[in-house]
Amino acid sequence: MDERALRVARLIADEPSRPGDHHGVAGNLRRLCSAAGRALSASGAGLSVVVGDRMRGVAAVSEPAYEPVEELQFTLGEGPCLDAFASRRPVLVPDLSAAAMWRWPGYATALHGKGIRAVFAFPLQIGAARLGAFDVFRDEPGPLTADEFRDALTFADVAVTTLLDGQARAAPGAAADGLDDEVVGQRAELFQAQGMVAVQLGISLADALARLRAYAYAEDRALGDVARDVVARRVSFDSGPS
């Protein structure tokens, strides 16, 4: 392990636990996000993973206030995190009020309204395997310094190691410790809700997901929460929502 990696590992290890922290991988990733926020002069940080085929979810955030911010990209289906995951390259947006408004109009506008002015997304990958993305948020525009960029890459590498180590210790077929409820369960509910809306409206699964996203955005709710209400039949799309 090189000097930078050792320093990042110490920062994470020194990050105190908080009331409500999860155990295992989820807790370690929360501390990683919090340490990264401090080290990178960020207002917040988040980490999202992909479990299986297109099963996406927020795994950890530095502060609870950043969970809806991290979730927003999945609600809207656009944003630097998704682009970083798809392209396998960092996506750096030092000013959300510039070209980002054209590239991700819904996402950039929503984050700007929440006081966020810059976003930097780093893919979580090892070889050909992609695990998700690590996001850094700032409330002031401006680029990362060269050292901050290298530190961010190192935090992403440590996140990959944390996820892989956790998965290696998990039972066969199970998610890493602490991520089941927050990722796998949420995505399973989303797929179930997608199917229910498709049947209710007689539309394709892709169109059903678009309806769910539009409803979540209009109601200012997390996509996972809307999916949970659809599955529980507290929200039905056969009588109006679109």
Q: What domains sit in the chain, N to C, each tagged with a CATH number?
A: 3-169 (3.30.450.40), 180-231 (1.10.10)
The CA-atom distances, in angstroms, between 5 and each of 28, 155, 157, 237 are 16, 8, 9, 49
Strands 91-93 and 118-126: antiparallel
Decide if 58 contacts 145 (C-beta within 8 A): no
State both tokens at 111.
């984050």
The H or E element that residue 133 is part of is: strand 129-138
Token pair for residue 70?
Answer: 């991290």
Q: Which residues contact 94 (CB under 8 A, 6 or more apart)?
A: 118, 120, 141, 142, 143, 144
> Dmax of the chain from CA atoms?
60
pTM of the full structure:
0.73
Predicted pLDDT at 172:
43
Q: Yes or no: say if 49 and 129 are a contact pair by the CB < 8 Å rule.
A: no
Q: Which residues of the chain have pLDDT under 70?
A: 1, 19-23, 50-57, 166-189, 191, 239-242
pLDDT (0 to 100) of residue 52: 47
| pLDDT (0 to 100) of residue 163 | 81
